[in-house]
Amino acid sequence: MAITIQDVEHIAKLARLRLTEEEKLRFQKELGKIIEYFDQLKKLNTDGVPPTTHVVPLENVLREDAVKPCLSVEEALANAPDRKGNYFRVPKVVEKEG
């Protein structure tokens, strides 16, 4: 399955990336190769193999509902590019997704 330039543009947009025309061509090639690899995997016989989401043989790793100390507000905001009072501050967002 080939990747089109539109696919690249769509994926870039979802990832909030701005690509140059040159980069788009490069990613078209690179993503295409990844998809090709999946095509190769598809050829394997997986009859009798249960669908696997995790490769570690673990299940039900849980913790007790216990409150632990949090970061201080100063620590929490230490890496923020911008803040106002005790809030993170960002350009105004209008649409809410999700």
Partner 1 sequence: MKYESIIGLEVHAQLLTDSKIFCGCSVSYGADPNSQTCPVCLGLPGVLPVLNKKAVEYAVKMVLAVGGTVAPHSIFARKNYFYPDLPKGYQISQYDQPLSTGGSVEIEIPESKAKKKIHLTRIHLEEDAGKSLHSEDNSYTNTSSNVKQKGETLVDMNRCGVPLIEIVTQPDMRSPKEATLFLNKLKQILEYLEICSGNMEEGSLRCDANVSVRPIAQTKLGTKTEVKNMNSFKAVEKALNFEMERQIGIIESGGRIIQETLLWDAEKELIAPMRSKEESHDYRYFPEPDLVVLKFHPQTISGIGGIRSEEKFGTPTITIVEKIKQSLPELPEARKTRFIKQYQIPEYDAELLTTEKKLADYYEECVKNYPNSKAVSNWVMGEVLRELKERKISVSEFKVPPKELASLLKQVDSGTLSGKMAKDVFVEMAETGLSSEKIIQEKGLVQVTDTKEIESVIESVLRENPGEVEKYRSGKERVFGFFVGEVMKKTKGKANPSVVNQILKEKLSS
Burial class (CB in 10 A: 0-12, 13-18, 19+), 77: middle
Which residues pair with residue 84 across a beta bridge? 87
SS3 84: strand
Among 10, 26, 29, 33, binds partner 1 (CB under 8 A): 10
Binding part of the chain for partner 1, among 22-30, 39-47, 66-74 by CB under 8 A, reads 66-74
Q: In the complex with partner 1, which residue's Cβ is closer, 42 or 54?
A: 54
Please state the separation of Cα 35 from the chain's center in Å. Answer: 17
Options 26, 29, 33, 89; binder of partner 1; rule CB under 8 A: 89
Interacting residues toward partner 1 by CB under 8 A: 10, 13-14, 16, 53-54, 56-73, 76-77, 79, 81-82, 84-98
